[in-house]
Amino acid sequence: MNKAQSMDNQLHNLSTSITTASIVSIVQSVYTINLNELPIVSTESSGAVFPPGTTAEEAIATRLAQHDGELTGPEIRQFINEMFGVNLDAISALDGAKISLFSKDQWVIQNETDLFVVWTGPGDLDVKIYPTSYFIEQTGASTIPEELKDALTDLGYSYNEETGGCYYVSPTGEAVQDAFKGQTIGAVVQVIRGAYSHL
């Protein structure tokens, strides 16, 4: 079972109704993400607007109250994405993909045999893609493969000789959109499946 299914299973097996504490606890246990340490992303478009200084637990409690605590796993993951800019469904889809993910100042996914790192900076304003030490050990190459470099530069990344990877900065000064993150991850996954799934 993947992370999203595991989260749904834990929510379903709660002996009480869903609470703020249970959501925080389940996300921590399944995804090793501490929601209390994440900044809240207030946006008019998502309808998730909170006054400055609102804590993560207060924001979650507000959303739960709006739905009388009757929320499904997918609905909870959606509002966590809206509130914190953390896409739990996308993270779950990366199970076994051999990609390490660093986001919101913490490792979201990191395994010893991962091949590439997708690193997003504060506020999701920039993204770096570079090879892991495991990839370098296994292939003898200290840079990302040419086909991945080409795919990423087509998306707007620039190649960085020092890191052996690619770098992107949001041209608008706003957080990189989920769709762009999806294209980035897709490019990395395609290269891994095409040539490196045996590692």
Average pLDDT of the residues in 46-54? 70
Q: What is the pLDDT of residue 103?
A: 87
List pLDDT tens digits, range 94-105. Answer: 988 999 999 888
Confidence (pTM): 0.82
Q: What is the pLDDT of residue 47?
A: 57
List pLDDT tens digits, range 1-31. Answer: 899 999 999 999 988 889 999 999 999 999 9
User: What gap in Å lies between CA 91 and CA 32, rounded to an integer?
Assistant: 11
Average pLDDT of the residues in 53-81? 86
Percentage of the chain exceeding pLDDT 90: 55
Domain ranges of the chain: 3-91, 96-196
Judged against a pLDDT cut of 70, whether residue 48 lies above it is answered with: no
Task: Report strand pairing: 126-131 vs 116-120.
Answer: antiparallel
Instruction: Name the token pair of 109.
Output: 């996914």
Q: Is 13 helix (H, G, I), strand (E, B) or coil?
A: coil
User: What gap in Å lies between CA 182 and CA 75, rounded to an integer?
Assistant: 20
Full DSSP string of 60-110: HHHHHHHTTT---HHHHHHHHHHHHS--HHHHHHTTTS-EEEEETTEEEE-
User: What gap in Å lies between CA 92 and CA 81, rounded to an integer?
Assistant: 13
Average pLDDT of the residues in 162-185? 90
Which residue has better confidence, 39 or 21? 21
pLDDT confidence of 79, banded at 50, 70, 90?
confident
User: What gap in Å lies between CA 84 and CA 79, rounded to an integer?
Assistant: 8
